[in-house]
Copies of this chain bind each other. A is one copy, B any other.
Amino acid sequence: MKTASTILTVGSMAFDSVQTPAGKADKVLGGSVNYFSVAASFHAPVQILGVVGNDFPQSHIDWLSTRNIDTTGVQIADGKTFHWVGSYDGKMNEANTLSTALNVFEHFDPKLNPEHKKADLIFLANIDPVLQQSVLDQVTNPKLVACDSMNFWITGKPEELKKTLKRVDILSINETEAFLLTGEKNIITAATRIREMGPTVLIVKRGEYGAMLITQTGIFLAPAYPVDTLVDPTGAGDSFAGGFMGYLASQNADREMAKTDPKKWDSMLRRGVIAGCTMASFTVQDFSLHRLMRLEGRELALRQDELMKMIQIG
């Protein structure tokens, strides 16, 4: 069996306080780097770049290290960890942010060590596009770069975000963000606009309805795995990205494949999307990282297989 490629990711490490129709959780672990790295680590080794305050439990960083996650890029700064407070109503389609205390995250400046610079795959989670570019400036020669973003940056730093987009292969955002980024109201036309901005691959996240993959060869429509208990959707998008990029790393993905073997490339991306949807479906079944923390490889493989069967014509 070939060795999986290494993924480097940068983003937030946070405490979340969240209330949903299923209950509430106070100051639990959250942030894109946590969700992404734990999800991706089921498939491939991950290096993380982030910052926490001195109130962050060392035990969690130690736990990450036991799971194929290189935590040498985690800075511990004087002050408090980023804290997000939010809630979800009804069908839990959208988060209501009640407060955001950036704390030490406000002055985050990702610094890469020589090992980080050699990473094969890069995932730039949803942070300031200036920082996303700073990471790209420091890496040597990644084979594939993916990024996420959100309304806050699309409206707040559109020019910087567009600079980032010119340098990435894959963008994963949700449907509303795709409309906001392009000014379009139809997802097919929005996808065309976005693919003109740089990313050759677009993933549109559709929450409980799954994800849409748009590449040079066409469209793939992946459903969400239908869970019987939805507890907390926080982290679903980052878990999706972790499952997706993890799968790509396990297949030694390289953007050159799009030219040298477009059929294999497309199939790999489609399987990656299914891996992402599967991972997200576990995350939403409990608060924080709780479900991912007790997830076993066998369960993951079973559900992934089940989801594949749910789209087979037979």
Contacts and interface: CB of A to CB of B under 8 A. Distances in A.
B313 A271 contact: yes
Contact of A313 (B209, B308, B314): B308
Interface residues of A, number: 32
Interface string A168-190: 00000000000000000011110
Interface string A198-229: 00000000100110100000111111001111
Copies of this chain in its oligomeric complex: 2
B310 A221 contact: yes
A260 to B, nearest CB: 16
A263 B226 contact: no
A266 B226 contact: no
Contact of A309 (B218, B226, B308): B218
B308 A188 contact: no
Contacts of A209: 206, 209-210
Contacts of A145: none
A7 B217 CA distance: 38
A147 interface: no
Given A218-B310, A220-B310, A267-B313, 19 more contacts: A186-B229, A186-B230, A188-B226, A188-B227, A188-B228, A209-B210, A212-B226, A219-B310, A221-B226, A221-B310, A221-B311, A266-B314, A267-B314, A270-B313, A270-B314, A274-B313, A308-B313, A311-B311, A311-B313
14 contacts: A186-B230, A188-B226, A188-B227, A210-B221, A219-B226, A220-B310, A220-B312, A221-B223, A221-B311, A266-B314, A267-B314, A270-B313, A308-B313, A311-B311
